[in-house]
Chain A
Amino acid sequence: MAADQAESNLQVQPLPLMKRLTQEHTRVFFFSLGKLGRNPVGTLLTALVIGVALALPAGMHVLTQNLSKISYSWQDSLQLSLFLKDSVSSERGAALAREIRDRPGVQATRYVSREQSLAEFRSQSGFGEALDVLQDNPLPAVIAVTPERGRNKLQVEVLLGELTRLPEVDLAKLDQKWLERLYAILGIIDRAVFIVGLLLGIAVVVTVGNTIRLDIEARREEISVMKLIGAPDSFIRRPFLYTGFWYGLAGSVFALVLVLAGTLALSGPSETLASLYDSTFTLSGLSFGSSLLLLLTGIVLGWIGAWITVWRHLAHIQPQ
């Protein structure tokens, strides 16, 4: 072109594609971050909203993970509890425990007299003084029966039926029963987490999308000028997509912090609770993998929100 001849000493070419994309993405990466930094309050509020939306399902996930861990550890110590009638003496009770231990399918038994029950309850529950008010010991004697390992559910239930029919036994209970219930509940919670997660994921997309829509509105003229001087759509789109990326990243970092704080706040009480059940259970937070997944989810949702908005709104801006 004619103008080039006049200034041929300045003749330059655009960079090769890969270098060009690297340079351009690096530029927009920081450019979009700088733009967000100019409105720190608004940016943080948006990121916080996204963070809460992501923290809810993530927190619920942590909860179900922990609950299923508890139930898993209890499955190991599967027990039958035989509550004896009050009329049964402690000698008879202890003898019965020995008899039951000799049955096939039984690994061990432990007899806990009414007095021992009371003492254990006193020391573990912290309600000892309340019991002093009562005239009588309200607790029954218990024989804890541990079935042999490897017995299947049906065999254990047959054993339970036999033991229930013993004349000394008032009530027999398989701890598995409420474990099953817990599993069922966990199943429901898991599904709820999924649905809530899905809805809140949509909320994140909408939040980012709306924020970026306002941003596009505010920068209408700038976009129009860019189109005038020949900026392709990909060039105009890029800063907004990176803005979505930053919102998603900041939001998921917030979510991680919220979940971590929640885990820490709950870990004290939950350990007390676990000790009541003779368990060494400790509350675990998000694993490294899950944390990474949370970050990735946040980023992808932010990016999707940005993309949808940009796709819907940029085309409407025509250069004047």
Chain B
Amino acid sequence: MTDIIHFNQVGYRYPGGKDVLSDVTFSLGRGEMAFVTGSSGAGKTTLLRLVGLLCKPTRGQVMVDDVNLASLKGGDIAPFRQRIGMVFQNFNLLYDRTVFDNVALPLVIRGFAYSDVQRRVRAALDAVGLLNREKSSPLTLSGGEQQRVGIARAIVSKPALILADEPTGNLDPEMSKEVMKLFERFNQVGVSVLIATHALHLIVHMPHRIIHLDGGKITARRPRTPAMNDLPPFPGEDLRGR
């Protein structure tokens, strides 16, 4: 019952490739929100994939919710993923179903009664401000709205942990800020949130912890900052100009 994520000297190498992550050690506390930053190719996506058990570390241990992921195999993987909410840069929605059905999917997978599904989906859509679009096709929504559907789907089963890989990568600056605020709101009710982004300018003035990757190694860390106005300098900040 300590941290929700703990990486201990984790290394990862794609089959036949070079090391994509090496000696990565960090933790995400329960109820904490943090960012993983770094330029394209730094290894952010790989780090999140390790947490979501989309790949397994070639070195070190990954613990999530007190489970050593190396011990999970076969039929354990799906139930494990159900406990995590994942948000993607390209939204990963199903475009042949309504917004409602997309958000309902994690609950349907877990076998909730339809009356409960309806209640929870409405609550999730309400939380992201899309209650009035439940019957729409995701195709008719803007990028920002689609990402909010993706977020509603990630939170609908009330996971303890949300992972988001470049959640604002396909959104304009206004939408990006909205989406980041949404994550903060879920964090405020106790959900742990880990977000990978290369858009440092978007997050550098937010008070959350930052883990900076470069070439697969953690090269800088910034602790959680209590107030927005006295942020300590951050080494990666020059990336901000983009």
Among A82-90, A139-147, A220-228, A299-307, the stretch that binds chain B is A220-228
Interface centre among B30, B111, B191, by most chain A C-beta atoms within 10 angstroms, is: B111
Would you give the 0/1 interface string for B100-135, flagging 1 where the beta carbon is closer than 8 Å to chain A? 000001101111111010011001000000000000
Complex alpha-carbon distance, A1 and B93, angstroms: 26
B189 with A23: CB separation less than 8 A = no
Among A8-16, A116-124, A190-198, A202-210, the stretch that binds chain B is A8-16
A10 with B78: CB separation less than 8 A = no
Interface residues of A in 214-232 (CB under 8 A from B): 222, 225-232
Would you give the 0/1 interface string for A234-261, flagging 1 where the beta carbon is closer than 8 Å to chain B? 0100000000000000000000000000
B54 with A230: CB separation less than 8 A = no
B79 with A230: CB separation less than 8 A = yes
Is there a chain A Cβ closer than 8 Å to B92's Cβ? yes
A12-B116, A230-B82, A232-B78 as given contacts; A2 in contact with B111, CB under 8 Å:
no
Instruction: Offer 7 A-B interface pairs, CB within 8 angstroms, sorted by A.
Output: A1-B158, A3-B189, A12-B119, A227-B81, A229-B109, A230-B84, A235-B78
Complex alpha-carbon distance, A230 and B86, angstroms: 10
Chain B residues near A23 (CB-CB < 8 A): 111, 113-114
A232 with B75: CB separation less than 8 A = yes
Is there a chain B Cβ closer than 8 Å to A24's Cβ? yes
Is there a chain A Cβ closer than 8 Å to B159's Cβ? yes
Chain A residues near B111 (CB-CB < 8 A): 14-15, 20, 23-24
Chain A residues near B143 (CB-CB < 8 A): none
List chain A positions with a Cβ less than 8 A from chain B: 1-7, 10, 12, 14-15, 19-20, 23-24, 27, 222, 225-233, 235, 318-319
* Cross-chain contact of A230 among B80, B96, B113 (Cβ < 8 A): B80
Chain A residues near B191 (CB-CB < 8 A): 2-3
Chain A residues near B31 (CB-CB < 8 A): 2
Least CB distance from B9 to A in Å reads 26
Chain B residues near A235 (CB-CB < 8 A): 78, 109
Is there a chain A Cβ closer than 8 Å to B153's Cβ? yes
Complex alpha-carbon distance, A228 and B77, angstroms: 10
Chain B residues near A226 (CB-CB < 8 A): 105, 109
A12 with B109: CB separation less than 8 A = no
Determine the residue in chain B with the shortest Cβ distance to A2.
B190
A7 with B189: CB separation less than 8 A = yes
Complex alpha-carbon distance, A219 and B96, angstroms: 10
Is there a chain A Cβ closer than 8 Å to B94's Cβ? yes
Chain A residues near B175 (CB-CB < 8 A): none
Complex alpha-carbon distance, A1 and B52, angstroms: 18
Chain B residues near A4 (CB-CB < 8 A): 158
Interface residues of B in 133-157 (CB under 8 A from A): 153, 155
Complex alpha-carbon distance, A226 and B108, angstroms: 11
Would you give the 0/1 interface string for B29-63, flagging 1 where the beta carbon is closer than 8 Å to chain A? 01100000000000000000000101000000000
B120 with A10: CB separation less than 8 A = yes
Determine the residue in chain A with the shortest Cβ distance to B112.
A14
Is there a chain A Cβ closer than 8 Å to B160's Cβ? yes
Chain B residues near A7 (CB-CB < 8 A): 123, 158, 189
* Cross-chain contact of B105 among A1, A229, A233, A319 (Cβ < 8 A): A229
Complex alpha-carbon distance, A123 and B76, angstroms: 82
Complex alpha-carbon distance, A155 and B165, angstroms: 93
Complex alpha-carbon distance, A14 and B112, angstroms: 4
Chain A residues near B108 (CB-CB < 8 A): 24, 27
Chain B residues near A3 (CB-CB < 8 A): 155, 158-160, 186, 189-191
Chain A residues near B114 (CB-CB < 8 A): 23
Chain A residues near B82 (CB-CB < 8 A): 229-230
